[in-house]
Amino acid sequence: MINVQHYLKYGFALVALIALLAGAPTVHAYVVNLAAAPRAIYLQVGTGGAVTGGGGTIQSGGVPSNSATVNEVSAIVPAASVGAGTQAMASNSPVANSIYDNFVFCAPATQIYVAGFLRSPVAGVAGTLSVASPANLTAGAGLNIAFNQISWVSGGNGDAVATIPSGTFVGGTTQTIYTANQNQWFESCLAFNYANTTVVAAGTYTGRVTYTLTSP
């Protein structure tokens, strides 16, 4: 047998339960999970691979391919001019147009086209464009020209201020020549010069520099 007190208890218990459920509604939502955009990095120095798709430019969605070409810059110094001051160097790179939008940007007879970008989803990340050069250009045993005799002037059609600064090879080390913003296209045209301040023996002096774009 149930007395009033028990009924009251059941009644309050039931009311309390309903109140509890009403006070804690289920929270509904649908969640779209996003994974970070991929990292990417690209550097072109001189002749690059073909840009395929998207109309043939980066701006129109094209994608550049790899290139194994190593371009040359050179200067022929007449005997009478050895040690007599700056000699402009010629380039064998045929690249005149920006691969970003096909804009006529460089003078291929004298300039080397340098371009690239860094894609990163991490805020504040930058790319480092560096160049490694040996201590000397050499023409055989004991025949050297210090690499710091080679410098470059940076430019590009329409650029009031060149993106990659002008500079001089340090020689025997890797030097940073430009810090690239993430998610921003960069490009410049580099024209090289031989300082020609020392008298050296006749010969063909060569040396290779390597440009690298890195990102943490």
Site residues for other proteins per CB under 8 A: 1-4, 7-8, 10-11, 14-15, 18, 25-38, 40, 42, 54, 58-59, 61-63, 100, 117, 119-124, 181-185
Can you give 59-83 as a three-state secondary structure string?
CCCCEECCCCCCCCEECCCCHHHCC
Beta carbon nearer to other proteins, 8 or 202: 8
Beta carbon nearer to other proteins, 76 or 160: 160
CA R_g for the chain: 32
d(CA 135, CA 169): 9
184 token code pair: 């921003």
Minimum distance from residue 51 beta carbon to other proteins (Å): 9
Q: Alpha carbon of 170 to those of 45, 56, 130, 216: distances in Å?
A: 19, 37, 12, 24
Beta carbon nearer to other proteins, 76 or 123: 123
Minimum distance from residue 141 beta carbon to other proteins (Å): 46
Minimum distance from residue 91 beta carbon to other proteins (Å): 23
Query: With contact defined as beta carbons under 8 Å apart, do 49 and 66 qualify?
Result: yes
Beta carbon nearer to other proteins, 25 or 85: 25
Minimum distance from residue 109 beta carbon to other proteins (Å): 25
Beta carbon nearer to other proteins, 31 or 141: 31
Q: What are phi and psi of 16, to 5 degrees?
A: -65, -40
Residue 41, burial from CB neighbour count under 10 angstroms (0-12, 13-18, 19+): middle
Minimum distance from residue 156 beta carbon to other proteins (Å): 11
